[in-house]
Chains A and B, each alone.
Chain A
Amino acid sequence: MPNPIFKQNYFEIFSVPISTAPDLTQLKEKNHELQQRVHPDCFANSNDAEKREAMQITSLVNEAYNTLKNPVARLQYMLTLKGVDMNGENDTSMDGAFLMQQMELREEIADVKSQSDPLDVLETMSRDLKNQAGNLVLTFAGLYAQDDLEKSREVVRKLQFINKAQKEVNDITEQLEDELI
């Protein structure tokens, strides 16, 4: 019989309520507690089947923890719990103004090296992106509570864009910092 953990959703596994902002410290502690029971190292003297199950359960716990602690993945997962698939083909059109703004930002990032103080510019960008993301998460929480899944989905799409931009900002910052060392 498969372990009952495979039937639980990620929030249930971590014994926290479904929320856009779970208590991260609590998640971390719960992760340690779970790992101490399920990690393959606790089954080093067990038979192969038990070892394999320990590996699968720990993989699941790791996946759950990664999803819940990442702000965007968490929201995406909340949508899948309501049957909304984020990776589907039928993407609705995006807010034009938002897309425009994103394109401008990408151009700015691409040009940043020509600025006199690129690291400062990147830091400002990074802060702005974090603020925008924070606001979108709040918007999502409201829409999700009202069960407006279509709009919730659009918010997550925007967050994915912002995430990508944030990653680009980080990568270029890293490059520039490496050059400075």
Chain B
Amino acid sequence: MALLQISEPGQSTKPHEHKFAIGIDLGTTNSLVASVRSGHSDTLPDEDGSHLLPSVVQYSAINILVGAQAKQNQIADPHNTISSIKRLMGRGVDELKSQFKNLSDVLPYEFAQTDSAVPKIKTAAGDKTAIEVSADILKTLKLRGEKTLGDKLEGAVITVPAYFDDAQRQATKDAATLAGINVLRLLNEPTAAAVAYGLDTGAEGVVAVYDLGGGTFDISIMQLKKGVFEVLSTGGDSALGGDDFDHAIAEWIIKQANVKPVDLSSSLLRQVLHEACKAKEALSEVEQVKINIEFSENKKWSGRLDREVLNALIDPLIKKTLMSCRRALRDAEIEKNQVIDVVMVGGSTRALCVREKVAEFFEAEVKVDIDPDKVVAIGAAIQANALVGNDSDGNLLLMDVLPLSLGIETMGGLSEKIISRNTPIPVSRAQEFTTYKDGQTAMALHVVQGERELVDDCRSLAKFELRGFPPHVAGAARIRVTFQVDADGLLSVSAKEETSGVEANVEVKPSYGLQDSEIESMLKASMECAGDDKDARSLREQQVEADRVLEAIDSAMADDGEEMLSAEEREKIQQVRSELAIARHNATQTQALKDAMEKLEKVSAEYVARRMNASVQKSMAGHQVEEFNK
């Protein structure tokens, strides 16, 4: 039906030349999807008009619910309803125990026994890894993008906390693969925010981006200059956020109510956390709030929480973020007075005492005029748009850094740093090793990430097994190992024996990630049950196409329907048009929609031809024929 869309001469007649890409902010509490349309980046709403998708997934035997509805069911169905899954990304079972030492020791999920390095949560729909849960959130966002844009997506930029380590980044990328998304880039959240902020305000100079989300904290010191966004340093805590505020308040409630945390059921615990979160949010507006909780039939508690108590509860957490700020400034070799703007990002920066403390620390006013929830997705969409080649200026450049040092384990369990934190990426470093046994043809390297001296105090990333180099006497082989970190911040390792030139086979055993084979089988499983998804998808595609056809015919009729068509012709077209409109709203069959569209195309074919002629004549009017022969 493309012929109906006649454009003025000189303008593009192929709307499909514009490639569609989306930016996704996969958050701990909420997720968003954004896209650049008509040169403007904005977040995309769902059918109900809400832009934020709660990052909550409810699994049942028959279906998967994602978003607001799942969130509503959380208290009633705590075991099968997963929230804050981002905090589990790239983490191992043992780590989770040490990470969630307080209240959340009693996370309302049951973990399955597994041989895999990745923890699995038991749900009514089977055991789920954090990667699969995230993939379900990503799928929902991708669908929303396709539905709104009505076109095939080229790919997506997905944001991650700047302070995410290699395992957490890899887990995010795996989730996207599982969701069938072509990942154009993993982009650091503060960098994405700076892009949106910088392009919006035109600010140039050094800015600090303070990003406190639901479960992660990032600070990035950046240099902004005419489309160039250079990260000078970054710091943070990938397990600190608004969730921890809620936990601190919930602990306070439980203490005040004089109940034992172990006596609380999963759903009661959820409810306390829920009330804690509500109280926290309310305290950004009012001085004090009343909290009521029914612990049991004969144990009802109500109390008051005011700002002063709240501040005392979360002050230690804010202090932790300020330590990271200080370190980031030092790493960037920037003095506080050189920072022109402090940009606040993430829902948790709505808490007034966070704003106050950060302003006090930087001795500057903080910028809160941008929507802290949306800015990351908006920035990601700008980058996505540029990456697929829609950026006409073509001078957007994002330069990022490695957030945590990479090292290898040496004798005595020490970590020898190979690439230090805040090194610009991509980066590549080579190191030479030798064999210590005669005839040795393989070796293993244990790669860790973190700043501490002892391997045990760093994060174990992976064991790389290098095999297949020719045997030499001990100490004679020269094995050159190259560590390459790409623009997404992901590490790969290659190795070559220098005297023979033989490339080693490198086998990666991620400490807390999925092996390639595990991802493959997950992909396979998701394809098997994708038949229904596929039908639903092609129906949606046809619906979008139908909308476009309807819009085109309506606008053409409004333009020149009166002058070009007889009353009879008009009526015929209108009749077929309403048939299509009805099919668009009622049909559950893709074929029915297709048929209705074809019918409309047929009855309006003559009209289209007349419009074409008129358009050509109009554009030729007043021109000499010779001009067109040029």
Q: Mark A157-181, 1 if CB is under 8 A from B, else 0.
A: 0000000000000100010011001
Residue ranges of A at the interface with B (Cβ–Cβ < 8 Å): 32, 35-36, 39-41, 44-45, 55-56, 58-60, 62-63, 65-66, 170, 174, 177-178, 181
A115 to B319, CA, bound (A): 25
Q: List 30 A-B contacts (CB under 8 A).
A: A32-B225, A32-B397, A35-B228, A35-B399, A36-B228, A36-B397, A39-B487, A41-B185, A41-B387, A44-B184, A44-B388, A45-B387, A45-B388, A45-B389, A55-B426, A55-B484, A55-B486, A56-B428, A59-B427, A59-B484, A60-B428, A62-B424, A62-B425, A63-B428, A174-B326, A174-B330, A178-B323, A181-B319, A181-B323, A181-B326
The chain B residues found within 8 Å of chain A, CB to CB, are 184-185, 225, 228, 230, 319, 322-323, 326-327, 330, 383, 386-389, 395, 397-399, 423-428, 484, 486-487
The CA-CA distance from A36 to B426 in the complex, in Å, is 14
CA distance A111 to B477 in the complex (A): 45
List the 5 shortest-distance A-B pairs measured between CB atoms, nearest first.
A59-B428, A44-B387, A62-B424, A40-B487, A178-B323
A40-B486, A55-B426 are known; give 6 further A-B pairs, CB within 8 A: A45-B388, A55-B487, A58-B426, A62-B423, A62-B424, A170-B330
Assembly CA distance A59 to B427 (angstroms): 4
Q: Which residues of B contact A65 (CB under 8 A)?
A: 424
Chain B residues in 8 Å Cβ range of A36:
228, 395, 397
Chain A hits for B326, CB < 8 A: 174, 177-178, 181
Measured between beta carbons, the chain A residues less than 8 angstroms from B395 are: 36
Query: Bound state CA distance, A66 and B323, in angstroms?
Result: 26
Nearest CB of A to B317, in Å: 12
How far, in whole Å, are A42 and B307 apart by their CA atoms in the complex? Answer: 49
**Distance in Å: Cβ of B398 to nearest Cβ of chain A:** 7
Q: Are A181 and B387 in contact (CB under 8 A)?
A: no
Given known contacts A41-B487, A177-B326, A59 and B185 CB-to-CB distance under 8 angstroms? no
Chain A residue contacts of B330, Cβ below 8 A: 170, 174
| Cα distance, A63 to B323, chains bound together (Å) | 29
Nearest A-chain residue to B425, judged by Cβ: A62
A112 and B264 alpha carbons, distance in the complex (Å): 49
Which B residues touch A45, using CB under 8 A? 387-389
Q: List chain B residues, Cβ under 8 A from A62.
A: 423-427
B399 in contact with A39 (CB, 8 Å): yes
How far, in angstroms, from A44 to B319 measured CA to CA in the complex?
40
Interchain CA distance A58-B425 in the complex, whole Å: 8
Determine the distance from Cα of A65 to Cα of B401 in the docked complex, in whole angstroms.
13
B453 CB to nearest chain A CB (Å): 11
- B230: which of A32, A55, A63 is its contact (CB, 8 Å)? A32
User: Bound complex: CA of A101 vs CA of B397, how far in Å?
Assistant: 46
Question: What's the least CB distance linking B3 to chain A, in Å?
Answer: 30
Closest Cβ neighbor of B223 among chain A residues: A28
A66 and B423 contacting across the interface, CB-CB below 8 Å? yes
Cα separation A40 to B398 with both chains bound (whole Å): 10
Note all chain A residues with C-beta closer than 8 A to B185.
41, 44
Q: Tell me if B397 and A39 are in contact (CB < 8 A).
A: yes
> Distance in Å from the Cβ of B483 to the closest Cβ of chain A?
10
List of A residues within 8 angstroms of B389 by Cβ: 44-45
Q: How far is the CB of B600 from chain A (nearest CB, A)?
A: 36
B451: nearest chain-A partner, CB-CB:
A171
Q: Contacts A32-B225, A36-B397 given: A41-B425 contact, CB under 8 Å? A: no
Cβ A174 vs Cβ B327 within 8 A: yes
Which residues of B have CB within 8 Å of A63? Answer: 427-428
Q: What CA separation (Å) do A96 and B389 show in the bound complex?
A: 61
Task: Determine how close the nearest CB of chain B comes to the CB of A60; give it in whole angstroms.
Answer: 8
In the complex, chain A residues whose CB is within 8 Å of the CB of B387 = 41, 44-45
Partner of B322, one of A40, A66, A170, A181: A181
For the complex formed, measure the closest distance between the CB of A54 and the CB atoms of chain B, giving whole angstroms: 9
Which residues from chain B contact A58 at a C-beta distance below 8 Å? 426, 487
| Closest B residue, CB atoms, query A178 | B323
**Across-interface contacts of B327 in A (CB, < 8 A):** 174
Specify which chain A residues have a CB less than 8 angstroms from the CB of B323 in the assembled complex. Answer: 178, 181
Q: Report the Cα distance A64→B428, complex, angstroms.
A: 11
Residue of B nearest to A29 (CB): B225
Q: In the complex, are the beta carbons of A35 and B397 less than 8 A apart?
A: yes
Q: Do A59 and B426 have beta carbons less than 8 Å apart?
A: yes
Closest to B488 in A: A40
A45 to B130 CA separation, bound complex (whole angstroms): 30
Nearest-CB distance from A28 to chain B (Å)? 9
In the assembly, what is the distance between CA of A56 and CA of B99, in Å? 37
Instruction: List chain B residues, Cβ under 8 A from A55.
Output: 426, 484, 486-487
| A170 to B327 CA separation, bound complex (whole angstroms) | 10
- Could you tell me the distance between the alpha carbons of A55 and B486 in the complex, rounded to whole angstroms? 7
- In angstroms, Cα B486 to Cα A60, docked, is 12
